[in-house]
Structure 1
């Protein structure tokens, strides 16, 4: 049986948006239409593609294989539509952007939104492992990632080099130091991001390499929460330097064992990177980094 492109498009949007209702809203059709398209596609494939749950939908292994193809079809249809419509000023559209740290993602979003105020942007922060997986599985349009994995399937645009630092309360004696060692933090409560973060991996590797132990650590979900914890006197946070405006109230102190530079870059599937919405966002990020 010849595949129905409408079924693939409906399926792709359900995965990208996370629910049947959100996909219907994005495509401007009824939820029952989306449900019927996906059901017919599953019947034709002969296997379940989506698992429905209270929190939305998840993709089966077969579903992920078909989503990779379906999302490429959506990108191709978008490219064809752009050619037919011409390359006039961007007045509408939708972008899904993720990052593993607030900066420079929020600066790029601010600049893009000022230039294209009618484009809807969904933005989310994720730990490094989740962020790279979402990009690799094509669930987003653009990712701004530290030490992004390299692949011929993705457009890779370097933005800046950055290193890890200790974020210290300005009243702490450590704030007067020009450099710290991880050993200097052995008597401190050290605040780290959640498991799966690049920070956690980098710090763990450095501790093992230098035979240093940090007896008291706390895990927190996002960098802003980590900064709030430092401001409340809970401890010292380790994260990438210049990661957010909230940190301007804190003192950044370099850490000797974490002095290596890490690259922040934009990552996008190559077929999506050619779409004018995605390219416009990449251009904004590059201008800010220049």
Structure 2
């Protein structure tokens, strides 16, 4: 059985729209004989005529009208596909799937990019930091913005911002008046922890074990937004990454002596995609927003200008 080729369908749809072989050829940028050959081959494969040719012009037969309805839809879909593909390749529009592990810093970093490319739909997925690399390798997301990515071979990893852990206290807490506290001083407080798979939970647990600090009374919450609200309402205190805390009345962030390390927030993408289309444009936007500044521990750190 002979198959109908894509080129035959394109020629058929063009003649059906133009009602003329010569006009269809001009629209497609090919010779009229090429269009005629495609239509003849299609009619031969079908065993029926799809056009009636007369001195009055070219008209679709009943079978031709039935097939044209589908062929025209296929051509429209192909045109839409090409338009969207062109937008993706040029970095001027389309859809971008982004994985984030914490919302506040990621949102303020994505905002300048959205302003640059307003026709882009950013589909944001929030999940534990540990799965970020696997999501990228499986092509489930285009770009990841998360802390300290591991096993990044084959990936483009761009440092965006360096964070330090701080204590998060209600402004009514006596410790909120201090410039710095020790981890042991929080031990008597009700402590707000995060789920075990979070980067913050793993790092805080490591420090508590190292300095033999225990929080007998604690609450467990899912994310930074819930934690901030809980602290403001007096449900306890917490430890979190400073740049991940959104400015809020009633909250105070105080440095902790034992938490002097810098933790790097990175933008990560598959290397083959890192320099092209929307992915390349987002990474370029993030790079342009980086500035070098002095951290609270006196070291030079990267910060996001936004």
Q: TM-score normalised to the size of structure 2?
A: 0.63
Partners in 1 of 2:96 and 2:267 — Cα distance? Answer: 14
Give the secondary structure class of the aligned counterpart of 1:214: coil
Q: Distance in 1 between matches of 2:155 and 2:265?
A: 15
SS in 1 for 2:180: coil
1:93: which partner in 2?
A: 94
Instruction: Name the residue aligned to 1:227.
Output: 228
Q: Does 1:211 align with 2:175?
A: no
Determine the C-alpha separation between the residues in 2 that align with 1:188 and 1:147.
Answer: 29
Shift of 1:235: 0.8
> 1:95 touches 1:120 (CA, 8 Å); kept in 2?
yes
* 1:179-194 alignment, distance < 5 Å: 179-194=180-195
Give the TM-score of the pair, scaled to structure 1: 0.66
Matches within 5 A, 1:222-261: 222-247=223-248, 249-261=250-262
Change (3 A) 1:153 1:104: same
> What's 2:136 paired with?
135
Size of the aligned set, in residue pairs, is 209
Distance 1:235 1:192 in 2: 10
State the distance in 2 between where 1:158 and 1:88 align: 25
Contact 1:191 1:217 in 2 (8 A): yes
Structure 1 pair 143–151 and aligned structure 2 pair: CA distance change class (3 A): same
What residue in structure 2 maps to residue 8 of structure 1? none
Distance in structure 2 (CA, Å) of the matches to 1:209 and 1:88: 50
The unaligned stretches of length 5 or more in structure 1 are 1-80
Check conservation: 1:108, 1:281, Cα contact below 8 A: no
**Counterpart for residue 120 of structure 1:** 121
Aligned to 2:288: 287
Q: Provide the C-alpha distance between the structure 2 equivalents of 1:240 and 1:218, rounded to a whole number of angstroms.
A: 18
Q: State the alpha-carbon separation in 2 of the partners of residues 87 and 147 from structure 1.
A: 29
The 1:280/1:171 distance shift into structure 2, 3 A limit, reads same
Aligned CA-pair RMSD: 2.3
- 1:274 aligned partner: 275
Deviations 1:217-247 (A, max 9, x none): 2221111111000111111121100214254
Larger radius of gyration: 2
Distance in 2 between the 1:286 and 1:155 partners?
Answer: 13
Q: Is the 8 A contact 2:168 2:238 kept in 1?
A: yes
Deviates more, 1:152-161 or 1:279-288: 279-288
Q: Map 1:33-48; keep pairs closer than 5 Å.
A: none
